[in-house]
Structure 1
Amino acid sequence: MDEGKVNKNKNKNHNMILENREKVSISGVEHVNSFNSEVIILDTVAGLLTIKGQELDVSKLNIEDGNVVITGTVFSMQYSNRESLGSKSSGLLGKMFK
């Protein structure tokens, strides 16, 4: 991993606010890997975050600031290491062009 990116990530905060299981505000987001109405996968400074639910929608997205707001019914949120799921090329565009 690039040392500059590691130092950059250490300075970024990662916060999550879940409101009534219907709205999630997340900071420290670097990339939206994939999303649909049941699963959203985000690359955050703390690792990959998988959010599962029903009628999920990315209602606000600002990657420059690293802020995302998701609405819908949240069933689960789970972190995993980037290395365990492969490279970033397997994201949304990578899947589309296979």
Structure 2
Amino acid sequence: MASEDRNREMPHNIILEGREKLSISGVLDVQSFDEEQVLLETVRGMVVVRGQGLHVERLQLEAGELIVEGEIGLIEYDDSVQPRDSWFKRLFGG
């Protein structure tokens, strides 16, 4: 199955538990992250997560899953942000 077909069929869900644990499926790439913002590309577009003390608890790109913990203040789809090369690629020169 082609990568594009797999991405279109991947489910996309966002589950927020008590503003402290955020689970997202349908994740294609994490563009950037720090303690105040996570920027990620999903099958439904770019998503910005903002808050305080954010950290990536689990990231499984093969399965398209991400769990972020911390104080979640905002979850927003932002179609004005264009995806760029993965920070994994930039970090490891891939």
TM-score by length of structure 2 reads 0.83
Q: Distance in 1 between matches of 2:24 and 2:15?
A: 7
Structure-2 change in CA distance of 1:87 and 1:57 (3 Å): closer
Q: Distance in 1 between matches of 2:49 and 2:83?
A: 19
RMSD (Å) for aligned C-alpha atoms: 1.9
Structure-2 change in CA distance of 1:73 and 1:10 (3 Å): same
Match of 2:81 in 1: 85
Identity %: 36
**8 A contact 2:41–2:83 mirrored in 1:** no
Q: Which runs of 4+ in 1 moved over 4 A?
A: none
Structure 1 gaps of 5+ residues are: none
TM-score by length of structure 1 reads 0.80
Match of 1:64 in 2: 62
Q: Distance in 2 between matches of 1:50 and 1:39?
A: 7
- What displacement does 1:8 show? 3.1
- Structure holding more helix per residue: 1
Which one of 31, 34, 47 corresponds to residue 33 of structure 1?
A: 31
- What displacement does 1:88 show? 1.1
- What displacement does 1:11 show? 0.8
- 1:14 paired with 2:21, answer no
- For residues 48-79 of structure 1, the C-alpha deviation after alignment (integer angstroms, 9 at most, x for no partner) is 00000000000101000000000000000110
Structure 2 gaps of 5+ residues are: none
